[in-house]
A and B are shown apart, each in its own frame.
Chain A
Amino acid sequence: MRKRKVAGVRPADFVPPYGATDAISAPTDARAERIEVGVLIVGGGPGGLACAIRLGQLLEEHPEIAERLGDVPVAVVEKGKQPGSHLLSGAVVNPRSLRRLFGDRLRIEDIPNYGKVPGESVYMLTRGSAFRIPLPPTMRNHGNWLMSLSQLGRFLGEQAEGVGAAILPETSAEKLLVEHGRVVGIRTGDKGRGRDGQPLANFEAGSDIVAKTTVLAEGTQGHLTAAAIDHFGLHGQNPQVWALGVKEIWKVPRPLRRVVHTMGWPLRKSAKFGEFGGSFIYPMGDDHVSIGFVVGLEYRDVELSAHDLLQEFKTHPKIQRILTDSERVGWGAKTITEGGFLSLPSRFNAPGLALVGEGAGLVNVPRLKGIHYAIESGILAAEAIFRTFQPGEAPTRVGALDSYDASLRESYVWKELREVRNMRQVFDKGFFAGSALASAMIVSKGHLPPKDFATESNAAAPLLRTGRAAQYPPADGKFTFDKLSSVFASGNRTRDDQPNHLRVRTSVPRDVAEMWTWLCPAQVYEVGEDNGDGTVSVKVTPSNCVQCGAISAKGGRLTPPEGGSGPEYTLT
């Protein structure tokens, strides 16, 4: 047997002194000061807004119930400037749940879109060449629609307002309010604090918003979702894991007539690197394409950088051809929840609380889809919440929201996720072994391989160094870009003198500090002085942050900054 090399440091050993339960508190505002709403939804993404829309529809049909819910029956808090500001995805959308949400009220054609998927191909890349490979069954996109999730979010926000929901933008959900074992709402974040936390002249304190039921639809790396899972003991079988996607929007002179996915280069196949991911290139009408690169965050190389992988990827001749004479018009980054079925929370409700969408882990990684699951779960949660308002029912009854879990487990979402439950985990074994197992899984509808694979948290993998960064192309400002100009392209113009919302240890081994600087697509972290004790200092520029959430997977923690901060995505 070969001798094991000395393992590198593990980011998991350097997590900051911050517990998810720091985000839980009892209400603190005097009772008369609290803002009362019927149902409070945290997060203006597809899951939260579908929930708001479905509730609005049901309450329009039953005004007597709406009456009982007070002046504001349904409210959605959104930390971005508006719904859509922080949304980023491919996106190829399966219209199934949108159809169910709007029924006869709207056609899919009425939703902002770039048409149906016109055709698709998948390539295996090496540095200089590309081999077209048969379409894996999970990646068939026939009948799906090309959309911008950011635009979809804005549209759904308008629809939600149209059926009476109150949208509260630029409002971060800082704490989950729990009283007597029951979620009773949230506390919103303060605004107008200075660098050291001191109130500025225009300080505006956060508020307690109390609700009969609170829905957490925070998307990836949900701040309160993580706290709720801890507090109510809702952990799944496996820890949750994430990937990081970085994407750009390009204005192109020639239309791309198909959806392209690639695997392989510039990622490395060997299992020891833990590099699982690939790219997508989607047309957006005749004159734009969306191009993104996704890499699983269990990777081990200190110098792995999703942003730079995307830049490197663009230099492949196959990709350069698509982007000739083109101009980058947008950029963004976001983590993707990848744990799948085995990482789902043990329950999707707790007293006064429902979890929906990606925050609850409802993403199908082999199919590269989660938007329709978010919408479906939002609808199911809305219907379950509505049932608790029926005569003879009470939202405060223990188990009142169990019907949400039951309906989710009956849904197509559950069936599909279950089928591919080991898909993500088997790729831990390296790309080719993983592919074989994945195929077996599809063919057998999830019956093979027979055992459930365990997975580790992203921060548990020991770091290694291979000089990877030498391969990244230099930024030329036209075809390849550095991180700072990309942050600018994301629309981020966050106030510089806010308190730091990123929790990381500021003295860590050099490998950890450098890993964070490469990890972060927005140049938030920099390596400072050597402390002389085997650690270096970490400098943080929080106003660069685009809230992708990668740091939370790799040993730090993203908490919500002042509402309205962060990127202003419009096309992603």
Chain B
Amino acid sequence: MAPTLVFLEHHDGVLQQGALGVLAKALSLGGDVAGVVLGAGQAVAATCGATVYVCDDPALAVPLPQPRVDALEALVAQTGAETVLFAASVLAADVAAGLAARLGAGLNWDLTDLRLEDGDLIGTRTAFGDTVVVDVAWKGTPRIGLVRAGAFEPAEAAGVANMIPFDATFQGFSSLAKLVERTHEESSGPSIEDADVIVAGGRGLGRAENFSLCEALAKELGGAVGATRAVVDAGWYPYSAQVGQTGKSVSPRLYIACGISGAIQHKVGMQSSGTIVAINKDQNAPIFDFADLGVVGDVEQVVPKLTALLRARA
């Protein structure tokens, strides 16, 4: 079987966990699997414990998508790869779609799982706020798949990589876009759209000041703070933090709902979160119908204690 390529994105010299997760998944499916590291020193690729194709052309020095399409096109031609997999990111999505157009290949995205069925690759994705599960496949090869962030865990212990350098030629138009400046904005924490963890507060907090409990817990977990419409309406927290139908739609790995009843208007904005923990005094609150861990209790008691316990662990 011709190889499966996994695009290994890196940032500041570190391979991204999501991409390593996809690599681990691809390896677990068996067959000839190789990673691809573009535009980084070999040192970056050295520790992923698999066969890795490496191209260090200066055209790949900055994280722009179009030269990466050229490089992957060359590698697919060279290896006869039938499948190219990506872990979703701002960069990877552009590369995957550009490559699909270049190769006339099918692209399935937002995949949450991959499996082989009679030797055929089948992807799983959810639709309509995770209310439907769709199995998708490809017609012909190459197949291109974009996997939802965090869908797969990286392998625990990676070994030394078997590195194979390759060359690519670059299209004129691919290098027209130039990076002129990079800014790492150090904010107080991740934005609510990007956060892996969201601690959200609702009316059950009792009063505006109690949002500090959510903030402290969010800080401990490296997360962002969210809010329901009711408390934003009441002026307890800014609109930019509102999660729900008329606010933001979020899907962090962990969503901790503090004093939130779980009305449908809120649910539609956060139901695709990985794990939902709800703390609410009202045992009949609808949020307990879809929380993974439901705690019937007083947020003023539970949340500070939770924060303290997590802090003690750190």
Contacts and interface: CB of A to CB of B under 8 A. Distances in A.
Contact of B239 (A493, A496, A541, A543): A496
A543 B239 CA distance: 14
B260 to A, nearest CB: 13
Given A477-B286, A477-B289, A488-B245, A496 B232 contact: yes
Given A477-B286, A488-B245, A543-B246, A496 B264 contact: no
Contacts of A496: 229, 232-233, 239, 242, 246-247
A495 interface: yes
Nearest to B232: A496
Interface in B42-89: none
B56 to A, nearest CB: 46
A494 interface: yes
Nearest to B229: A496
Given A496-B239, A543-B246, A485 B229 contact: no
Interface in A524-567: 541, 543
A493 B233 CA distance: 15
Contacts of A497: 239
Interface string B258-293: 000001110010000000000000000010010000
Contacts of B289: 477
Nearest to B268: A488
B246 A488 contact: no
Nearest to B261: A484
Interface in B232-256: 232-233, 239, 242, 245-247
Given A496-B229, A496-B233, A541-B233, A484 B265 contact: yes
Given A496-B229, A496-B239, A497-B239, A485 B264 contact: yes
A488 B265 contact: yes
B264 A484 contact: yes
B233 A485 contact: no
A543 B242 CA distance: 14
A477 B287 CA distance: 12
A494 B246 contact: yes
Interface in A464-497: 477, 484-485, 487-488, 493-497
Contacts of A493: 245-246
Nearest to A488: B264
A42 B32 CA distance: 69
A488 B232 CA distance: 18
A541 B229 CA distance: 10
Interface residues of B, number: 15
Nearest to B284: A474
- Size category of the A interface is 10 to 19
A320 B301 CA distance: 43
A465 to B, nearest CB: 24
A477 B229 CA distance: 20
A487 B264 CA distance: 10
B289 to A, nearest CB: 7
A202 to B, nearest CB: 15
B263 to A, nearest CB: 5
Contacts of B263: 484-485, 488
A298 to B, nearest CB: 32
Given A477-B286, A477-B289, A495 B265 contact: no
Contacts of B246: 493-496, 543
For A484, A494, A496, the residue with the greatest tally of chain B CB atoms inside 10 Å of its CB is: A496
Interface in A485-515: 485, 487-488, 493-497
Nearest to B246: A496
B41 to A, nearest CB: 46
Interface in A7-47: none
B156 to A, nearest CB: 41
B286 to A, nearest CB: 7
Interface string B198-239: 000000000000000000000000000000011011000001
Most buried by B among A484, A494, A495, A541: A484
Contacts of A485: 263-264
A182 to B, nearest CB: 42
B40 to A, nearest CB: 42
Which residue among B229, B230, B247, B263 has the maximum number of chain A CB atoms within 10 Å of its CB?
B263
Interface in A432-489: 477, 484-485, 487-488
A495 B247 CA distance: 9
Nearest to A496: B246
A447 to B, nearest CB: 53
Interface in A224-265: none
A477 B246 CA distance: 21
A562 to B, nearest CB: 13
A366 to B, nearest CB: 38
A495 B230 CA distance: 13
A167 B310 CA distance: 59
Contacts of B232: 496
A484 B289 CA distance: 16
Contacts of A484: 263-265
Nearest to A475: B286
A493 B247 CA distance: 10
A303 B265 CA distance: 25
Contacts of B229: 496, 543
B239 to A, nearest CB: 7
A92 B302 CA distance: 55
A497 B230 CA distance: 12
Interface string A298-336: 000000000000000000000000000000000000000
A497 B239 CA distance: 9
Contacts of A541: 230, 233
Given A493-B245, A493-B246, 19 more contacts: A477-B286, A484-B263, A484-B264, A484-B265, A485-B263, A485-B264, A487-B265, A488-B245, A488-B263, A488-B264, A494-B246, A495-B246, A496-B229, A496-B232, A496-B246, A496-B247, A497-B239, A541-B230, A543-B246
16 contacts: A477-B289, A484-B264, A484-B265, A487-B265, A488-B264, A488-B265, A488-B268, A493-B245, A495-B246, A496-B229, A496-B242, A496-B246, A497-B239, A541-B230, A541-B233, A543-B246
Interface of A: 477, 484-485, 487-488, 493-497, 541, 543
For the complex of A and B, list the 10 residue pairs with the smallest distance between their C-beta atoms, beginning with the closest: A488-B264, A485-B264, A484-B263, A496-B246, A493-B245, A493-B246, A488-B265, A496-B229, A541-B233, A484-B265
